[in-house]
Amino acid sequence: MISVYYFGAISLILIGLYAVLVKKNLLKMLIGLSIMETGVNLLLVSIGYVAGRSAPILSEGIGPNQAVDPIPQALVLTAIVIGVATTAMALSVAMILHEKYGTLNVEEIRRLRG
């Protein structure tokens, strides 16, 4: 069952990579980057999952041998926060580029830059 999550994560990474490499619109490239980031986060969470174990929360009846490793979960939470900040910064740069050049087409911006 865990292989379904691997397949989904790799599919999201490839869809995002396609959008980043093929699309010429800057917003579509940023959406592809966000999709790729979601795929990487899903892959990290699915790698850290162990069947039959519970979340690493202190409660009665759950010992260290019965909990999953909290490190991948912490890494993914950190990656989500960094990804949101990076996406916000990239969107603000895209807004500035649109105001300056009047387009979000990457080839057109390169041509207009001179």
Query: pLDDT digits over 33-78, tens only?
Result: 999 999 999 999 988 877 777 777 776 777 767 778 888 889 999 9
pTM: 0.85
Question: Which whole number is the average pLDDT over 25-35?
Answer: 96
Task: Identify each DSSP E strand in the chain by its residue range.
Answer: none
107-110, long-range: CB < 8 A, 24+ apart: 107/24, 109/26
Q: Which tokens is 69 given?
A: 């490793």
Phi and psi at residue 67, in whole multiples of 5°? Answer: -115, 150
Task: Give all domains of the chain, ordered by start, each with its CATH number.
Answer: 1-51+69-112 (1.10.287.3510)
Lookup: tokens for 81: 């926060």
Averaged pLDDT for residues 26-39: 97
| Cα separation, 105 vs 24, whole angstroms | 5
pLDDT of 10 over the 70 cut: yes
The structure tokens listed for 96 are 């500035």
Which of these, 20, 28, 73, 19, lies nearest to 46 by C-alpha position? 73
Q: What is the mean pLDDT of the chain?
A: 89
